[in-house]
């Protein structure tokens, strides 16, 4: 049993509309939607974008005999579902049309291990699809529809960094396999990370109703622009509880472009373990700064080691842009092309400031989240 499946029994669950991870307890940042809207009419936006979201059905062969299926991302309407002797596991999710030629952006976990992928379009017909590329670390995948297609309406990408707290958003997807549905909420928080859901996290949090089956669907603003890919929920029951998470388009689009270009994602590599610095952490470890990303460990022969970075250094900026958390630093480094030289604004443990030039390497394929340390914040229990 995988850690994600094991954690479905935790008191609080983050469901990937198919998988789950424990979520640390904390305040609920969901709010009621405001009554004053400043952009387009909600019905106009909903009607304009709903046909750009598709239903995705997948199946893959499983061993005969009892199987532990994931209750959040399996098709409960499948005959004989979950009983000994099943040979096919059926799953349902959502996706977003991003090109008129039939490219679909969705979550990686929606198509994980799929032998057969069917996409239902706005005309009600099913079309075969193939995987163009998958990025499990970012939980994104790109599909290509096959055969003769009807006229498609790709969604326009918006600037997710321009989102404001309290901004009204719409979530479109196929919850519980009942068919495409539109829900409304607001942006409850931005930049959610360190939650143990994905390798790379920078989630938009929303209280728009997101349920099993919404994974891979669209989060749009009131201009009808795609600003997120709905991915996970926090819930005691596995259903809607007012806390949903979406991958922002400013993170999703560069990953999508790489998947389309080469079928894989290549990330920058510095070779350090990091933590988000805090005044408490700085005091306990006698660091030279109270904010930024503190280096907890440096891998031998890595780009960081060659540049002279050491344990206890605090990175406060990257190419002149302030770094406030370890998650932001990690995500930013990862999205920079390997071979690029970057300027790191560093405060050494003695308080001396420096600009360290570092040529990034390529992140090894087996490099995983276990090398990232985020102390002293509480961590989800992975057992």
- pLDDT at residue number 39: 61
Whether residues 82 and 160 share a domain: the answer is no
d(CA 238, CA 3) in angstroms, rounded, equals 16
Is 334 part of a structural domain of the chain? Answer: yes
Judge whether 381 lies within some domain. no
Does one domain contain both 73 and 216?
Answer: no
> Which CATH number characterizes residue 333's domain?
2.30.42.10
| Spatial contact of 253 and 290, defined as CB atoms under 8 Å apart | no
Same domain membership, residue 253 and residue 272: no
Same domain, 251 and 294: no
Pick from 93, 114, 145: which residue ends a domain?
A: 145
**What is the pLDDT at residue 198?**
83
> Is 379 within the bounds of a domain?
no
Query: Is 91 assigned a catalytic role?
Result: no
Closest CA to 72 of 119, 141, 9: 9
Please give the Cα distance from 373 to 138 (Å, whole number). 18
**Is 376 among the domain residues?**
no
Answer whether 129's CB lies under 8 Å from 119's CB: yes
Segment holding 93, helix H or strand E: strand 88-97
Give yes or no: residues 57 and 135 share one domain: yes
90 inside domain: yes
Judge whether 324 and 289 are in contact, CB under 8 Å.
Answer: no
Please say whether the beta carbons of 88 and 59 come within 8 A: yes
- Per-residue pLDDT, 368: 55
Full-model pTM: 0.78
Phi (first) and psi of residue 6, to 5 degrees: -60, -40
Write out the H or E segment, with its range, that includes residue 71: none
Note if 126 is an active site residue.
no
In a domain, 378, yes or no: no
Closest of 69, 54, 57 to residue 111, by C-alpha: 57
Q: Do residue 74 and residue 13 come from a single domain?
A: no
In terms of domains, do 227 and 162 share one?
yes
Chosen domain end from 122, 145, 168: 145
> 215, 273, 313, 348: which is the annotated catalytic residue?
215
Using omega within 30 degrees of 0 as the cis cutoff, is the peptide bond preceding 376 cis?
yes
Q: Say if residues 252 and 217 touch (Cβ distance below 8 Å).
A: no
For residue 14, what pLDDT is reported?
Answer: 41
- Look at residue 61 and give its three-state secondary structure: strand
Catalytic annotation present for 215: yes
Nearest to 72 by CA among 22, 28, 117, 14: 14
C-alpha span between 188 and 138 (Å, rounded): 21
Whether residue 208 sits in one domain with residue 280? no
Q: Which pLDDT belongs to residue 241?
A: 84
209 to 88, 219, 242, 289: CA distances (angstroms) = 30, 11, 6, 41
Q: Residue 321's closest CA among 299, 309, 306, 336?
A: 336
Are 342 and 299 members of one domain?
yes
DSSP at 156:
P
| Alpha-carbon 332 to chain mean position | 15
Phi, psi (rounded to 5 degrees) for 137: -70, -30
The residue segments making up the domain with residue 36 are 3-48+155-262
383 within some domain = no
Q: Out of 75, 86, 139, 174, pick the active-site residue.
A: 139
Residues 138 and 94 both lie in one domain:
yes
> Has residue 377 been placed in a domain?
no
pLDDT at 199: 86
Beta strands 218-220 and 321-322 are unpaired
Distance CA 205, CA 219 (A): 11
* 3-class state of residue 153 by DSSP: coil
Q: Are residues 189 and 281 in the same domain?
A: no
Which of 145, 172, 199 is the last residue before a domain boundary? 145
The pLDDT value given to residue 158: 97
Q: Which one from 59, 109, 181, 313 is the annotated catalytic residue?
A: 109
Number of structural domains, the chain? 3
Domain of residue 134, CATH code: 2.40.10.10
Do residues 35 and 174 both lie within one domain?
Answer: yes
Residue with tokens 């094991």: 6
pLDDT in tens, the chain (383 residues): 333 222 222 223 344 443 322 233 333 333 333 334 446 689 999 999 999 999 999 988 766 554 443 333 333 333 334 455 556 778 899 999 999 999 999 999 999 989 999 999 999 999 999 999 999 999 999 999 999 999 999 999 999 999 999 999 999 999 988 889 999 999 999 998 877 788 889 999 999 999 989 999 999 999 999 999 999 988 877 778 889 999 999 999 999 999 999 999 999 999 999 999 999 999 999 999 999 999 999 999 999 999 999 999 999 999 999 999 999 999 999 999 999 999 999 999 999 999 999 999 999 877 654 333 332 332 332 22
Smallest CA-to-CA distance from 92 within 215, 180, 2 is with 215
Mode of pairing for the β-strands spanning 314-318 and 293-298: antiparallel
């Amino acid at each position: 049993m995988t850690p994600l499946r094991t954690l479905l029994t935790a008191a609080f669950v983050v469901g990937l509309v198919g998988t789950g991870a424990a979520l640390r307890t904390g305040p609920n940042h969901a709010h009621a939607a405001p009554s004053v809207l400043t952009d387009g009419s909600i019905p106009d936006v909903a009607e304009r974008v709903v046909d750009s979201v598709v239903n995705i059905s997948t199946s893959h062969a499983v061993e005969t005999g009892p199987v532990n299926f994931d209750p959040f991302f399996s098709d409960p309407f499948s005959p004989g579902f979950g009983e000994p002797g099943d040979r096919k596991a059926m799953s349902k999710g959502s996706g977003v049309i991003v090109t008129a030629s039939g490219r679909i952006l969705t979550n990686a976990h929606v198509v994980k291990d799929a032998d057969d992928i069917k996409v239902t379009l706005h005309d009600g017909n099913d079309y075969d699809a193939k995987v163009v590329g998958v990025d499990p670390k970012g939980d994104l995948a790109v599909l290509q529809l096959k055969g003769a297609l009807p006229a498609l309406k790709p969604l326009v990408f918006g600037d997710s960094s321009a989102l404001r707290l309290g901004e009204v958003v719409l979530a479109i997807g196929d919850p519980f396999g009942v068919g495409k549905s539109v829900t409304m909420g607001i942006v409850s928080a931005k930049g959610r990370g360190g939650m143990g859901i994905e390798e790379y996290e920078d989630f938009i949090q929303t209280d728009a109703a997101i349920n099993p089956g919404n994974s891979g669907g669209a989060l749009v603003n009131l201009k009808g622009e795609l600003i997120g890919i709905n991915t996970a929920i926090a819930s005691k029951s596995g259903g809607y509880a007012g806390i949903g998470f979406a991958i922002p388009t400013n993170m999703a689009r560069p990953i999508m472009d790489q998947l389309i270009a080469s079928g894989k994602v290549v990330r920058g590599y510095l070779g350090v373990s990091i933590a988000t610095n805090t005044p408490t952490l700085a005091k306990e470890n006698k660091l030279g700064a109270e904010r930024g990303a503190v280096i907890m460990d440096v891998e031998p022969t890595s780009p960081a080691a060659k540049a002279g970075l050491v344990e206890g250094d605090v990175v406060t900026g990257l190419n002149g842009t302030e770094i406030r958390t370890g998650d932001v630093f990690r995500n930013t480094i990862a999205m920079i092309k390997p071979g690029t030289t970057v300027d790191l604004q560093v405060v050494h443990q003695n308080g001396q400031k420096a600009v360290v030039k570092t040529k990034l390497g390529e992140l090894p394929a087996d490099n995983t989240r276990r090398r990232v340390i985020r102390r002293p914040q509480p961590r989800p229990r992975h057992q």
